[in-house]
């Protein structure tokens, strides 16, 4: 397992505190969500990898052949590589909790990690994920806290697929909350507040 499998940024937090992995959206980089992560989890050490796929110069975590049409082989490759990266950092840090935050394409790779290694993350925030396939969860999500945020008029992530993802996660035992707003693919303040509440609750052992 390699802690350096991806170009990444580390923002140290309190010793023995949580570890927060943040995953950027298409065209972002390892700096995109670091300040948001610090705002949401002030005590956490933040680890922010950069996607290793380029789509016409825009960084992503896995390939796609069209909007919402994923290269499933490359998603499997990316998920396995990212799982090793995450586990290497967790083993090195022995944190009080492991948290995840992803937006758009970053939410998609984070969701795929939750399916692949459900015992790693104590709490995850999936902002505007699009999961157009039926996931196979390799284990149980019992006791895991997951927040999904979504826009009712999101042209990229249709509300019906958000509801379907919620159902999949609940069926596998996760404690799921969905935070909606009336807009599109943008992140709004109510999403940020919901994420802050989730991470604060996990830090307090709620």
Residues with catalytic annotation?
Answer: 104, 154, 185
The Cα–Cα gap between 33 and 20 comes to 11
Order the strands of the 45-49 sheet from edge to edge: 8-11, 45-49, 19-23, 98-103, 123-127, 145-151, 175-181
Alpha-carbon distance of 190 to 70, in angstroms, equals 29
Crossing angle (nearest 10°) for helices 105-116 and 72-93: 70
- Cα 62 to its chain centre, rounded Å, is 14
């Amino acid at each position: 397992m390699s802690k350096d499998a991806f170009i990444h940024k580390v923002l140290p937090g309190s010793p023995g505190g949580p570890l927060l992995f943040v995953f950027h959206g298409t065209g972002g980089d390892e700096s995109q969500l670091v300040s948001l992560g610090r705002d949401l989890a002030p005590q956490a050490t933040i680890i922010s990898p950069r996607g290793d796929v380029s789509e016409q110069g825009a960084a992503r975590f896995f390939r796609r052949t069209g909007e919402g049409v994923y290269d499933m082989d490359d998603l499997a490759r990316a998920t396995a590589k990212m799982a090793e990266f995450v586990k290497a950092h967790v083993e090195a840090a022995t944190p009080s909790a492991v948290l995840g935050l992803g937006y758009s394409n970053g939410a998609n790779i984070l969701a795929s990690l939750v399916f692949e290694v459900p015992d790693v993350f104590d709490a995850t925030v999936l902002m505007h994920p699009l999961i157009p396939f039926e996931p196979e969860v390799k284990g149980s999500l019992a006791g895991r806290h997951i927040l999904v945020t979504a826009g009712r008029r999101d042209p990229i992530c249709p509300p019906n697929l958000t509801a379907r993802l919620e159902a999949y996660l609940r069926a596998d035992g996760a404690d799921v909350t969905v935070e909606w707003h009336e807009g599109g693919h943008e992140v709004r303040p109510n999403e940020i507040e919901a994420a802050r509440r989730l991470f604060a609750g996990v830090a307090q052992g709620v």
